[in-house]
């Protein structure tokens, strides 16, 4: 089956080369039993790819199930995935089969796989390597023949470095990685998608279809789309229902697009709807500085590796000799500290990192422990939302299950 036929069958819209590449990889890997890891931002349409892989495989007549790992509480996720025996825990009145037992001979899609607890990751690794698992509360080893496709919008390499995800499981899952591009990297598809969505909603709500002016099209193309295709579809539905004038201009669309999302540059402001609203400007500046330092370090490593491998042309080296000497010597690069306590009395950049000798009282009052900062942010988010964990988790940018774990860990 060619790529165009796959798009028509699974309702995928777009002609972006990056999208076509992702579909092509899924098509090629489908006939095998290789584990696949699908990565990409939230709202890009990752859920379509495990369906492609399953339907184009020899398992297409077998069962298929999609499991959202982030939506299952940590205390019951092992039971959901692997099953349990009667009486194995409070409330286990009957024995239950888990997903891996039910889907034997088929495909299981583990969405938000980065949210799995570490102990569950160990169990999953055993299934991937041997096909064996043990039910909760049981002692007998069971076998299963399941093809695993996983997806995440989290950078798993960073999660591995932070100790939140097992390195061996990461390499086992990512045997074949498929990256679904964000909408801002598929600019040629944006207008096509908007017209398709608006046409569908016009038919659904029995309204005339929407028409876009040239400036409206340019606004859509140049928008950042942090919510990707899901956000674009939501916009099309809002406008289809609310606007009486079916000819849309850029001024009309701007009323539905948040102003701060149009400009991708970081701005310091106190917005209760953002995850940094509980942080002081000082904390935000430190966060930005630490991220800049990581980026500079990565660039230095890349340039030094290219120099060692002879990948930089002589003309480039001659033109940028002064900068290369700086990187090689590491004497003139600005120093940014991982820990604020390492900052000397007179920081290198006084405008961004204040001297601790000049403000000793502020240093004593302000906790510099990462755990204390996390606990403080969680408490502020819970207070702001009246104890509603779901709202607090959305503001903090974490799953509700992760928030619950942190609440227990910090005894909030």
Give the pLDDT confidence score for residue 319 in this predicted structure. 62
Distance CA(372)–CA(249), nearest Å, equals: 48
pLDDT-wise least confident of 73-82, 172-181, 254-263, 335-344: 335-344
Distance CA(150)–CA(171), nearest Å, equals: 12
Q: What is the pLDDT of residues 108-145, one digit of tens each?
A: 999 999 999 999 999 999 999 999 999 998 889 999 99
Decide if pLDDT at 223 tops 80.
Answer: yes
pLDDT-wise least confident of 20-34, 174-188, 249-263, 338-352: 338-352
Mean pLDDT computed over every residue of the chain: 82
Name the percent of the chain lying above pLDDT 90: 55
With left for phi above 0 and alpha for psi between -120 and 50, is residue 87 left, alpha or beta?
left
Distance CA(248)–CA(251), nearest Å, equals: 8
Q: Is 384 helix (H, G, I), strand (E, B) or coil?
A: helix
CATH of segment(s) 184-262: 1.10.8.60
The top-scoring range by mean pLDDT among 43-52, 317-326, 333-342, 369-378 is: 43-52
Residue 47 — pLDDT band, cuts 50, 70, 90? very high
- Which residues of the chain does CATH 3.40.50.300 include? 3-181
Decide if pLDDT at 394 tops 60.
Answer: yes
Distance CA(98)–CA(80), nearest Å, equals: 5
Superfamily of domain 3-181: P-loop containing nucleotide triphosphate hydrolases (3.40.50.300)
- Which residues of the chain does CATH 1.10.10 include? 370-410
- Which residues of the chain does CATH 1.10.8.60 include? 184-262
CATH of 370-410, one of 1.10.10, 3.40.50, 1.10.30, 1.20.950: 1.10.10
The burial of 352, by beta-carbon neighbours within 10 Å (0-12 exposed, 13-18 middle, 19 or more buried), is given as middle
Q: What is the pLDDT of residues 324-358, one digit of tens each?
A: 666 666 544 444 444 444 444 444 444 444 433 34
Give the pLDDT confidence score for residue 334 in this predicted structure. 45
Give the pLDDT confidence score for residue 323 in this predicted structure. 66
CA distances from 261 to 190, 206, 225, 305 (A): 16, 31, 8, 36
């Amino acid at each position: 089956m060619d790529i165009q036929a796959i798009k028509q069958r699974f309702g995928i819209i777009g002609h972006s080369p990056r999208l076509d590449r992702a579909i092509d990889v899924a098509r090629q890997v489908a006939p095998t039993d290789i584990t696949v890891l699908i990565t990409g931002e939230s709202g890009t349409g990752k859920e379509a790819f495990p369906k492609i892989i399953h339907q184009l495989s020899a398992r297409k007549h077998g069962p298929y199930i999609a499991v959202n790992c982030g939506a299952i509480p940590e205390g019951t996720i092992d039971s959901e995935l692997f099953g349990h025996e009667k009486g194995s825990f409070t409330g286990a009145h009957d024995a239950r089969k888990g997903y891996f037992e039910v889907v034997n001979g088929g495909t299981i899609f583990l969405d938000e796989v980065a949210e799995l607890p570490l102990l569950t990751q160990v169990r999953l690794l055993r299934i991937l390597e041997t096909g064996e698992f043990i039910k909760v509360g049981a002692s007998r080893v069971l076998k299963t023949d399941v093809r695993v496709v996983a997806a995440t919008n989290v950078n798993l390499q960073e999660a591995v470095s932070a100790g939140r995800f097992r390195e061996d499981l990461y390499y086992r899952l990512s045997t074949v990685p498929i990256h679904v591009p964000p909408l801002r990297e598929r600019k040629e598809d944006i207008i096509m998608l908007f017209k398709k969505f608006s046409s569908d909603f016009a038919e659904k709500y029995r309204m005339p279809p929407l028409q876009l002016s040239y400036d409206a099209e340019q606004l859509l193309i140049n928008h950042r789309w942090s919510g990707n295709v899901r956000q674009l579809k939501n916009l099309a539905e809002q406008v289809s229902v609310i606007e009486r004038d079916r000819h849309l201009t850029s001024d009309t669309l701007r009323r539905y697009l948040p102003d701060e999302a149009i400009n991708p540059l970081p701005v310091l402001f106190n917005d209760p709807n953002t995850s940094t609203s509980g942080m002081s400007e000082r904390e935000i500046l430190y966060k930005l500085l630490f991220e800049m330092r990581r980026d500079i370090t990565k660039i230095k490593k890349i340039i030094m590796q290219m120099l060692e491998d002879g990948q930089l042309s002589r003309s480039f080296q001659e033109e940028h000799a002064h900068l290369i000497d700086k990187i090689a010597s590491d004497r003139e690069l600005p120093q940014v500290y991982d820990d604020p306590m390492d900052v000397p009395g007179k920081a290198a950049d006084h405008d961004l990192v204040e001297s601790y000798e000049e403000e000793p009282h502020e240093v004593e009052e302000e906790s510099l422990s990462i755990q204390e900062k996390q606990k403080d942010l969680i408490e502020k988010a819970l207070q702001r939302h009246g104890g509603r964990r779901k709202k607090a988790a959305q503001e903090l940018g974490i799953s509700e299950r992760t928030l619950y774990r942190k609440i227990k860990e910090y005894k909030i």
